Structure 1
């Protein structure tokens, strides 16, 4: 090769190397700015496992079943329609690293960290401030002595009847974040007849499993750690600010100076996304307390415009009426999230249909997210509890879960649904080409 050609080759190589470095830096910046790793989000090998196929095969013959069966070979991609409720809580200890990873692998495009705080005011992922006695191994550790209420064994009479259930109460606010991180997550359960801590920590329903709750798994996360994990997994984020179980302001000395108020708590959660360079469009902040949603709308409008107001109605009579739903929209709330029963009803022919609430919410211009699929165990035995209360008589088999999803998607027009097993929703969403 001539000197001239060698020089040209070296220059070309240098140019290619420079372009590669620029491209890598640009990708890193996109990741940091968006809070969303595009490569992870688009190219993760989504694996749905056998459950969605079992559910489709169990459906009664119908056009819907035929359509769902014909997309069984995929390919399957992440979808924002599928929201990982506490991760993949059907089989993995909720709000653990392993649970979040499972939800993302099953195609959840959005994953939830319920947010509460520790004694030293650090934010952590837990469904309730005071659930450590049923969701972690705290009672089997020296930290048990710091619990709000220590373990009390059940009182049982001579015939074996429970006179008083076993009890305990352990809160994140009882311990520091360092102590919190030393714990291991377990399936959320307890044995009310327990006479020992070991017995109390059992009680997992037989339709769930303890296979993924071993001593080397169940990794607990701070809120900041969940953000970094979700960025790596390429998923969007839906943190729920939990109601404090302690009196707010927290740790107050009565002079009102330096108190940890509800506003501080709500702002701290948003600040941790901003510090991690997560764009507001990738965060769906949630709360059951409308005052939190109003705070975000007023003080963090970019996050507030897609904040989610969770409806905590337990029965139909508690649901907001048309005027109330219109008032939500008027004050800047754009997304409501009621439980599934609020959105569904049964017509005169026994078919599942959109409810009055669903129609009123859409008429008000509100987007709808709902909860929670795959949280009620076996469906075919009836008596499917809270989530199915308005349409339970139409549920005859496990495959009817797909029929429920179809009505929610097509007739109600929800934009997403929380599920304890994301694969089920991901399968449906991919088949129906939902984003």
Structure 2
């Protein structure tokens, strides 16, 4: 998705790219987009300058739903991830595309979970004596210098059993000696206020909800954490089942952006399901090491020749700091532009406080990051210079404010 341009030319570029297209807003008119207090807090926190002044001028909106804004796992800054409540929050905050990370159960049904084996940190399964014993590794308390342990997978239980669980904020206490202590580990910058019992979703339920909103879908085929084939269930069948769900529901492929970290999944969709494959998103985690970053950048022309049209690294890989101390596009970003590829990136609002330079997502620009308002400084470079087409966010309202202000 990489094109270097300014906001005035963005909508034209989006439309002409033919991959990420803004759908008409008529189907969004049934609800009012609310951005809440957080964007204003971030803008107020910014250093003085032209960007801050522009964002301040937009304080009264109007705020609109935008396909530039992708809901990452719902709205997990404050709501348990991959829950019905999180989806509704994301919709109200203006996300035009909503995500379901797709995992499979013991009976080979598809459900929404960020990882196949995260039920011990994202649900109440350990509190459920009828299900906790079915975990790959049931709860073992921390003792004699050994850390706590638990490992519970969607593939340990059936779809029906999965649906009886409650979603909670992702987190755990590594020093816990009881299940209750273990489950009390929500990161300091999130909240348990809306975490009484989040409603989990199957993939089909997610499709039905998002379709009722009239919004876009981005299902991610999660890399299995069990050996494949799983009881005869192959990776190819898993990839096909995810696409088949949209075909069965009558969803137009133009509304679906299938994702995977595994390039073979992308190539499978390109070959077997080209209508869906042309919007397939290659989630690129190769950039996590310097060597991997260099190899990933070098591989981009070859991926483009194989038909991959959308690259999606974490957003740190798209920027760097130049000799004058300015945040500018990275080599990876320039390579995708040269190859004519589009870029989606992830994940905004996962970092907590930025007053000490940020975390994983800001690692290439940390020397010039010193306050929460710098989130918008980085986002502005990603949009205006890198030319990203969309960004995942744990709190869509933050990006919606910017997107509405700049007509994205």
1:350 shift after superposition:
1.3
Q: Pick which of 315-324 and 333-342 moved more.
A: 315-324
Tell me the distance in 1 between the aligned counterparts of 2:355 and 2:94.
26
Count of residues in Structure 1 that have an aligned counterpart in Structure 2: 383
Structure 2: runs of 5 or more not aligned:
1-22
Q: Secondary structure at 2:173's aligned position in 1?
A: coil
Answer yes or no: is the 8 Å Cα contact 2:25–2:65 preserved in 1.
no
Q: Measure how far apart 1:40 and its partner are.
A: 4.3
Any residues of structure 2 matched to 1:3-402 within 5 Å, and which? 40-141=27-128, 142-156=130-144, 163-215=145-197, 218-251=198-231, 259-313=232-286, 314-319=288-293, 320-382=295-357, 384-402=358-376
Q: Which moved more, 1:321-330 or 1:334-343?
A: 321-330
TM-score when normalising by structure 1 = 0.86
Cα distance in 1 for partners of 2:30, 2:290 equals 42
Distance in 1, Cα, partners of 2:374 & 2:30:
31
Secondary structure of the residue aligned to 1:82 is strand
Instruction: Check whether the contact 2:163–2:201 (CA below 8 A) recurs between aligned residues.
Output: yes
User: Matches of 2:363 and 2:226 in 1, distance apart?
Assistant: 32
Decide which structure has the larger Cα Rg and report it. Answer: 1
Q: In structure 1, the residue corresponding to 2:131 is in which secondary structure? A: helix
User: TM-score, length-normalised on structure 2?
Assistant: 0.92
- Calculate the aligned-residue CA RMSD, in Å: 1.3
Residues 257-303 of structure 1: CA deviation (Å, up to 9, x unaligned): xx311110000000000111110000000000000000000000000
Q: Distance in 2 between matches of 1:87 and 1:76?
A: 19
Higher relative contact order (CA 8 A, sep 6+): 2
1:64 counterpart SS class: helix
> Which string of whole-angstrom CA distances, capped at 9 and with x for unpartnered residues, describes residues 375-430 of structure 1?
01100133x22111111111011111001100000000000001100001010011
Matches of 1:123 and 1:330, distance apart in 2 = 32
Distance 1:37 1:189 in 2: 38
Deviation at 1:235, TM superposition (A): 1.5
Q: List alignment gaps of at least 5 residues for structure 1.
A: 1-35, 157-162, 252-258
Runs of 4+ with deviation above 6 angstroms: none
Q: Is the 8 A contact 2:73 2:99 kept in 1?
A: yes
Mapped contact 2:356–2:369 kept (Cα < 8 A): no
Query: Residues 48 and 38 (structure 1 numbering): CA distance in 2 closer, same or farther, change over 3 Å?
Result: closer
